[in-house]
């Protein structure tokens, strides 16, 4: 029973087009003769009302709108998991629109067939066959599935955060992996899915932990980490999206000659609207935001540079600081050391 990111899974792992990011809940694990802690679940049918009730009971599927696409629309679900991770497969031959919310787990999903569109925080992507993405995990998102078959890997959020060494860790939602990242992910799926899905043979705690570590490690290598400034603006409303555009512009252009008018224009706000939005959500002015991003950029460059090849003044000027004394004072207030000390730390 092999779950593959490149080929169609076996019949046993074909499953319903569930609202793709919600967590399956089972109160009585089906261990099928094993003595380990994995649960397994398989369901299939043609009753669409039953399917919607099943997924709504175990998943955070909000206000689903379902329409049959054929007279014989069917569905199925299969999954095997424990408290760290699960592998699941899904099939649902309907047109499904709904809102969904993921909070305590990360879901990597890739399409096998059909069409699927995910919208979150003003960003919309179409899923493509065999191309894995991480679903949003910090707010509700909208989905539109039509006659889909897909695969999912669920990873417990606290487990991944522990491996990452960052209690606040999150993946950048809906961002595809690089070619190398996709290769790493596909290799992991091919190497370990059959063992995980085989309920006829027991897996001890050490073996299950090793497989979960491998999947989580592959995800950490394959998919981009969510930057802290994105995580600082939760929410999905129009104002949140405009503020994220402002932050994205500042982070991309902080070393250039920009100010409040340019930031506001990039965000689709008036200068006053930008000031109000920043104050309301981040308790900052546009000047505070720009200065902080520039200081962070200078700090990174100083820590990475060789004191024999550059100077504090060169790096300060590169980040838009014309007065070295004021730069040094602001730098020390933010990082607890002088710029020259950061540069010396390379020696």
Q: Quick one: pLDDT at residue 313?
A: 94
Does position 35 have pLDDT exceeding 90, yes or no?
A: no
Does position 30 have pLDDT exceeding 80, yes or no?
A: no
Does position 171 have pLDDT exceeding 70, yes or no?
A: yes
**Euclidean distance between CA atoms 223 and 319, whole angstroms:** 29
Q: Quick one: pLDDT at residue 98?
A: 93
| Arithmetic mean of pLDDT, 157-183 | 87
Comparing 13-22, 106-115, 233-242, which segment has the lowest mean pLDDT? 13-22
Tokens of 191: 């190497």
Query: Distance from CA of residue 142 to its chain's centroid?
Result: 15
What's the first-to-final CA gap in the chain, in angstroms?
54
pTM, full prediction: 0.64
Q: For the chain, how big is the Rg over CA atoms in Å? A: 24
Buried b (16+ CB within 10 A) or exposed e, 306-334: eeeeebbeebbeebbbeeeeebbebbeee
Top-confidence residue, 14 or 114: 114
Top-confidence residue, 138 or 221: 221
Does position 22 have pLDDT exceeding 60, yes or no?
A: no
Q: What angle do CA 128, 134, 137 make, to 5 degrees?
A: 135
Contact 171, 126 (CB under 8 A): no
Q: Quick one: pLDDT at residue 309?
A: 81
């Amino acid at each position: 029973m092999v779950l593959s990111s490149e080929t169609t899974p076996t019949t046993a792992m074909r499953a319903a087009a569930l609202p793709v990011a919600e967590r399956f809940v089972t109160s009585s694990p089906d261990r099928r003769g094993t003595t380990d802690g994995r649960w397994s679940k398989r369901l299939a049918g043609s009753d669409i009302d039953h399917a919607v009730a099943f997924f709504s009971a175990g998943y955070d599927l909000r206000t689903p709108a379902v329409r049959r696409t054929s007279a014989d629309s069917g569905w199925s679900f299969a999954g095997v998991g424990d408290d760290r991770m699960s592998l699941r497969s899904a099939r649902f031959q309907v047109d499904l629109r709904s809102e969904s919310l993921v909070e305590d787990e990360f879901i990597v999903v890739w399409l096998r067939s059909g069409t699927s569109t995910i919208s979150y925080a003003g960003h919309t992507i179409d899923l493509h066959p065999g191309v894995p993405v991480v679903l949003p995990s910090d707010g509700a998102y909208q989905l539109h599935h039509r006659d889909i078959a897909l695969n999912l890997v669920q990873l417990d959020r606290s487990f991944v955060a522990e491996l990452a060494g960052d209690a606040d860790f999150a993946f950048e939602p809906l961002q595809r992996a690089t070619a190398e990242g996709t290769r790493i992910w596909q290799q992991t799926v091919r190497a370990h899915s059959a063992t995980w899905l085989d309920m006829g043979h027991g897996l001890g705690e050490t073996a299950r932990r090793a497989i979960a570590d491998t999947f989580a490690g592959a995800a950490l290598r394959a998919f981009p980490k969510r930057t802290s400034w994105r995580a600082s603006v939760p929410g999905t409303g129009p104002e949140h999206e405009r503020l994220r555009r402002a932050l994205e512009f500042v982070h991309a252009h902080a070393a250039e000659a920009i100010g409040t008018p340019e930031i506001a224009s990039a965000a689709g706000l008036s200068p006053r609207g930008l000031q109000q939005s920043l104050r309301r959500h981040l308790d900052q002015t546009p000047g505070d935001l720009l200065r902080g991003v520039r200081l962070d950029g200078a700090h990174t460059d100083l820590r990475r540079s060789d004191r024999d090849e550059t100077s504090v003044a060169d790096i300060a000027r590169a980040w838009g600081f014309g007065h070295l004394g004021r730069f040094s004072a602001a730098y020390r207030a933010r990082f607890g050391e002088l710029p020259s000390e950061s540069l010396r730390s390379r020696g």
